[in-house]
């Protein structure tokens, strides 16, 4: 069974997205992260990160729309396929949520083999077939069968930017079932 993971800082909570808030507010949040949590991976992002992430999401939306995907929210929630040892080091007080893929309407899920930003970056041109490609659930299963999970062969990034399979969840329905305000750490219904 495929499980999707979402990593977060337990002080902030899960499924917080800089692209779901106005740009000026997102910049303020980034500055606060740099000051309050300087050792986190998020604090190391450059000042153009939010703009680049929004541009990438526009590509994801266009690609997923062309494949007939269902997008119920304008900005996706981000998850990964399977446990990612590397992502588990991103936060000073890391926590995660693990949800079976079968809990989602698969028509609301899109995937990139690796993080979507390097996947669609014009700077990454190594000829790998999964570059500049977005996949549906059924399509990513074939890619996994062919290449395996990146975290199994490239968790340290030695062989390229793909360290996990990124999942874009274009609906709140399942996510809301897994968010419990009174708890932190590993959350399950």
pLDDT band at 41 (very low <50, low <70, confident <90, very high): low
From first CA to last CA, the distance across the chain in angstroms is: 18
Residues 6+ apart with CB under 8 A from 89: 41
pLDDT at 185 over 70: no
pLDDT at 176 over 50: yes
What pLDDT does 189 receive?
A: 35
* Joined tokens for residue 58: 């526009």
pTM: 0.86
Average pLDDT over residues 139-158: 97
Phi, psi for residue 115 in degrees, rounded to 5? -60, 140
The Cα–Cα gap between 115 and 90 comes to: 14
Name the packing angle between helices 23-36 and 49-66 (round to 10°).
Answer: 120
Question: Could you read off the pLDDT of 84-96 as tens digits, one per residue?
Answer: 999 888 878 889 9
């Amino acid at each position: 069974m495929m499980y999707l993971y979402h990593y977060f800082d337990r002080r902030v909570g899960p499924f917080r997205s800089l692209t779901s808030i106005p740009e000026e507010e997102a910049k303020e949040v980034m500055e606060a992260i740099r000051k309050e949590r300087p050792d986190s991976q998020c604090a190391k992002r450059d000042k153009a990160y939010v703009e680049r992430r929004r541009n990438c999401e526009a590509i994801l939306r266009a690609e997923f729309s062309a494949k007939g995907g269902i997008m119920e929210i304008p900005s996706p929630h981000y998850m990964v396929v399977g446990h990612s040892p590397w992502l588990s080091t991103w936060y000073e007080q890391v926590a995660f949520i693990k949800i079976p893929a079968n809990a989602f309407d698969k028509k609301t899920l899109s995937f990139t083999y690796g993080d979507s930003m390097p996947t669609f970056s014009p700077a990454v041109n190594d000829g790998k077939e999964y570059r500049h490609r977005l996949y549906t659930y059924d399509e990513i299963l074939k890619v996994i069968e062919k290449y395996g999970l990146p975290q199994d062969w490239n968790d340290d990034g030695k062989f390229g930017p793909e360290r996990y399979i990124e999942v874009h969840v274009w609906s709140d329905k399942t996510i809301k079932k897994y968010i419990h305000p009174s708890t932190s750490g590993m959350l399950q219904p």
